[in-house]
Structure 1
Amino acid sequence: MGWLGYQWLCERFRLATFPLSRPARLAPVSRVTRTAEALLVPTQVAPEADQPLDQLLFALKHEGVNLQVLAQALTRIPDSDIRRRVQATPSSRYVRVLGFLWEAFNGRDIDGDFAIAGPTVDLFDARRYLTAPGQRNARWKVNFNGLGSLRYAVTVERTPAIERLLALDILDRANTFVAGLGPQATDRALAWAYLHETETSFAIERETPSPDKAEAFVALLKQAHQPRPMDEDYLVALQNAAITNPLDRAAAYRHEQNWLRGPLRGAAGITYVPPPPELVHALMDEVLAFANALAKRIDPLVAAAIASFGFVFIHPFMDGNGRLSRFLFHYALCQSGRLANGLLLPVSVAMKRNEAAYLSALQSFSIPMRRHWEVRWLADESYDFRFQGDEALYRYWDATQVVEFSLDMARQALEKDLREETEFLDRFDRVYRQIDDAFDVRGSALTTLVIAALQNNGKVSRNRRKQFQLTVPNPVFDAIEQACAQALK
């Protein structure tokens, strides 16, 4: 096939990585050509086939930054190879980046003093990736401007959809929208948002919360605006309050392996295996940095998406992870200081409506990760799990799809859910007042009839007329329909 770059390195060193979205390969083209399936490379541009260092330099220049591959491949490269290349071309941007990453992933410095020339260069090209304010490495003159750290980082490509959604300034629009409502309308709209966010977050997990549990979760959501750093103790307290079964309450992050399963029996039914318990603390420290700190340094919606999905991919508890991941989304937004105090975007409502897209975003990570676990079914609910990959798989991943999905859910939560509910409440008020001024009808009955009519395109159904025929005069039904018709214009 004539693989080049990252794919060549994966095969040469038998690296454990996710499938590359566009592997580079030799092709009869006149210049490097990007297609939907591959990066086509002419012979005159291809690196030396038997030189790993040349393949690495080619990959950085033409394929971008893939830390999953780089973290593993650079541990296979002798420091002497890097030293010779730096001495030969000390001003080369990509050679300097390789030297910087080699030391980071090998945990030691390359011997020698290098006369690094040229200006400081960014690790990630801001024209291709979303980036963060950088941390400069003086030795190599390389600026780490990735999302996260060299211990845990995600990449997010600037797709047209992401660029379009970021340009909407969703959080500013949400603040403006709520500021334009009156105090009473604001209170009711937010009360609806908190309650329905709670109900749908549980519904996504196929659960129905009791009134007490729903009230407790609403209280948790309101805590998201409080300036308290997120840590293990805080998450444990949240987990204890969020789950319905008291026997599943955690005292700390998990110390055993957990898994997700589908309807199939045995090992075939295991759909995802989170990281081994010995990695959980280190990974969670990095994920919480997105919620605690990075939400103040990059677009908060991007940080919230990474924190939320990163959390659920780690699955640090044996139960309650889904609800907590969605809480973490709100927490990151609130801690950024970009949302008005008390404001909540009901993203779970939008996610529930788009469950197939939500599942696809989760599977962008879970499906390729599952291939790196050997699972044997022993008996009943007993399994033997053996991780065949590398921890780099959990530390470095492509978050493009989950960020794109999350941005769109935030947009829908504002433009559809919050706005439509506010408009509904305004119509309800107008219809209710008009009928209440003209007729003497019990308030509970009138409320039920007006809500039902507005939800039924302004018509009072035959069943509702029959239900209230003994307590509501017939002219009221017709008046409600006339008032609804005016309100729905």
Structure 2
Amino acid sequence: MGCLGYQLLCERFQLPAFPLSRPARVAPVSRVTQTADALLVPAQVAPGQDEPLEQLLFALKHEGVNLPVLAQVLKHIPGSDILRRVQATPSSRYVRVLGFLWEAFQGRELEGDVAITGPTVDLFDAKRYLTAPGQRNARWKVNFNGLGSLRYAVTVERTPAIEGLLALNILDHANAFVAGLGPQATDRALAWAYLHETENSFALERETPSQDKAEAFVALLKQAHQPRPMDEDYLVELQNAAITNPLDRAAAYRHEQNWLRGPLRGAAGITYVPPPPELVTALMDGVLVFANALPKVIDPLVAAAIASFGLVFIHPFMDGNGRLSRFLFHYALCQSARMGSGLLLPVSVAMKRNEAAYLNALQSFSMPMRRCWDVRWLSDETYDFRFRGDEALYRYWDATQIVEFSLNMARQALEKDLREETEFLDRFDRVYRQIDERFDVRGNALTTLVITALQNNGKVSKNRRKQFQFTVPAPVFDAIEQVCEQALK
């Protein structure tokens, strides 16, 4: 069966593009039917001709808005063709959208009279996509309500999983949870969150931080609550603070090509190539909108996810990008004014526990982008990189999988990590206090025994009994087990 819409246009113009999740094709169906991997279209609904403009109008109507493909295809469409269609049907929603996008991507107006009729229309269908407050174009009566701008934008589809996670109001529940704790419990829970967020952020990069490194990153995380706008200078300061090797500290965004590699030798070992250095500043300007402005106008967790992963995909520095991306997640949440003072969701703890899903989210962008680069291994650490894609692939991308993953990690960070640790600390206090009132045991020994017993379903192991047999009276072990049993109910 013949392909249609975006798929046909990608093939006709040999566009560098990520594989479509559901390419359209003609099929023996009675109505347009979406399956897991295709959009099935009855012959009578398919465009009657393969003319690019007809295929574009079909794609906008039935496949949604694919900005990276549209940005490339519209370069091949003569302005005169767009103008004729606009003049013939000046009230058509999809014709107006094409005219609006043609001018935006070409950077110039169509030559000829454009007299648009009809009400203003949204570029993105709010029932299908997450959207932002619109920016109205009076000439075309088109409202750009996407996430970002036509210089840098992402799309996020309203999947059932995303809708369900957004409905949980995770940030409101996090604030309510902390508000319900006493001052001492709050301090201890947040101290645990900052420390373990730090350790797991490093662990995601296969590093174990020294005490100095850990303390520096904790201080960095606490800085996220400060109302300072994020820009290149601020990111440079943060990168310098996060990196201990002075030779790796940056003075500005990178001015050379960098890359990520795996264990294989040569070009086969290159797993991802970030954008060429000449694109970095413009792309980072787009990412920082999600850190500074959008957390106040869309769900902050959505903005935080896009800012965090967007920085990783751009890799604006030669080192420290991973840690900075996770800082940016917290920064975006704090700038939303929806996070209580000092509150932190330990999302890196959840990410480390779900590391395979984290890698999969990263690869949803990095793997198809890698195929847009020709890489030749010259010698040792010397490579020749040639980008055969289009910058639209870096400017416009589908963040659906990344947002779904990040929302799930935020949920787990609250419901599992922060809540479970708080409950553990509460049980520890109750057990420790009761044993300390009944027996005279050294504080360090009692702390170790209570913690390990609670972690061992309330049982003091044979090894612990043997370890403390000469310093802790035997009745203490049994008493700890009895009190732990009550605390764990």
Q: TM-score, normalised on structure 2?
A: 0.99
CA distance, structure 1, for counterparts of residue 407 and residue 244 of structure 2: 29
Alignment deviations for residues 229-269 of structure 1 (CA, whole Å, 9 cap, x no partner): 01111111111111243321111111111111111111011
TM-superposed deviation, 1:48: 3.3
Report the equivalent of 2:12: 12
CA RMSD of aligned residues (A): 0.7
Report the equivalent of 2:476: 476
TM-superposed deviation, 1:12: 1.1
AA matched with 1:195: L
Report the equivalent of 1:257: 257
AA matched with 2:183: P
Report the equivalent of 1:118: 118
Alignment deviations for residues 41-94 of structure 1 (CA, whole Å, 9 cap, x no partner): 111111133311000000000000000100000011011001100000000000
Report the equivalent of 1:199: 199
CA distance, structure 1, for counterparts of residue 248 and residue 48 of structure 2: 56
Q: Is the 8 A contact 1:155 1:398 kept in 2?
A: yes
AA matched with 2:260: L
Unaligned runs of 5+ in 2: none
Report the equivalent of 1:239: 239
CA distance, structure 2, for counterparts of residue 365 and residue 384 of structure 1: 22
Q: Identity rate of aligned residues, in percent?
A: 87
CA distance, structure 1, for counterparts of residue 85 and residue 125 of structure 2: 23
Q: Is the 8 A contact 1:3 1:26 kept in 2?
A: yes
1:83-482 matches, within 5 Å, as: 83-482=83-482
CA distance, structure 2, for counterparts of residue 115 and residue 272 of structure 1: 46
CA distance, structure 1, for counterparts of residue 284 and residue 152 of structure 2: 10
AA matched with 2:60: L
TM-superposed deviation, 1:462: 1.1
Tell me how many residue pairs correspond in the alignment.
489
AA matched with 2:457: N
AA matched with 2:291: A
Alignment deviations for residues 152-203 of structure 1 (CA, whole Å, 9 cap, x no partner): 1100000000000000000000000000000000000000000000000001
TM-superposed deviation, 1:212: 0.9
CA distance, structure 2, for counterparts of residue 16 and residue 274 of structure 1: 16
Q: TM-score, normalised on structure 1?
A: 0.99
AA matched with 1:388: R
- Per mean C-alpha deviation after superposition, the further-off stretch among 467-476 and 362-371 is 467-476
CA distance, structure 2, for counterparts of residue 49 and residue 214 of structure 1: 62
The answer to whether residue 23 in structure 2 is matched with residue 31 in structure 1 is no
CA distance, structure 1, for counterparts of residue 126 and residue 201 of structure 2: 35
CA distance, structure 2, for counterparts of residue 281 and residue 42 of structure 1: 45
SS class of match (1:208): coil
Alignment deviations for residues 87-145 of structure 1 (CA, whole Å, 9 cap, x no partner): 00000000000000000000000122322111100000000000000000000000000
AA matched with 2:290: F
CA distance, structure 1, for counterparts of residue 134 and residue 462 of structure 2: 65
TM-superposed deviation, 1:455: 0.7
4+ aligned runs moved over 6 Å, structure 1? none
SS class of match (1:19): coil
AA matched with 2:96: R
Q: Is the 8 A contact 1:48 1:55 kept in 2?
A: no
AA matched with 2:306: I
Report the equivalent of 1:42: 42
Report the equivalent of 1:53: 53
Q: Is the 8 A contact 1:57 1:94 kept in 2?
A: yes
CA distance, structure 2, for counterparts of residue 166 and residue 208 of structure 1: 34
SS class of match (2:10): helix
AA matched with 2:51: Q
Q: Is the 8 A contact 1:200 1:348 kept in 2?
A: yes
SS class of match (1:278): helix
AA matched with 1:146: G
CA distance, structure 2, for counterparts of residue 442 and residue 31 of structure 1: 76
CA distance, structure 2, for counterparts of residue 210 and residue 236 of structure 1: 22
CA distance, structure 1, for counterparts of residue 134 and residue 218 of structure 2: 37
Alignment deviations for residues 337-383 of structure 1 (CA, whole Å, 9 cap, x no partner): 00101000000000000000000000000000000000001111111
Q: Is the 8 A contact 1:209 1:244 kept in 2?
A: no
Alignment deviations for residues 15-58 of structure 1 (CA, whole Å, 9 cap, x no partner): 11101111111112221111111111111111133311000000
Q: Is the 8 A contact 1:124 1:145 kept in 2?
A: yes
Q: Is the 8 A contact 1:152 1:283 kept in 2?
A: yes
AA matched with 1:385: F
CA distance, structure 2, for counterparts of residue 160 and residue 28 of structure 1: 28
SS class of match (1:3): coil
AA matched with 1:280: V
CA distance, structure 1, for counterparts of residue 233 and residue 482 of structure 2: 56
AA matched with 2:376: R
Alignment deviations for residues 302-336 of structure 1 (CA, whole Å, 9 cap, x no partner): 00000000000000111111111011000000000
CA distance, structure 1, for counterparts of residue 50 and residue 161 of structure 2: 39
Q: Is the 8 A contact 1:161 1:404 kept in 2?
A: yes
SS class of match (1:153): strand
CA distance, structure 1, for counterparts of residue 362 and residue 296 of structure 2: 25
Alignment deviations for residues 412-465 of structure 1 (CA, whole Å, 9 cap, x no partner): 000000000000000000000000000111111111111111111111111111
Unaligned runs of 5+ in 1: none
CA distance, structure 2, for counterparts of residue 250 and residue 470 of structure 1: 55
SS class of match (1:376): strand
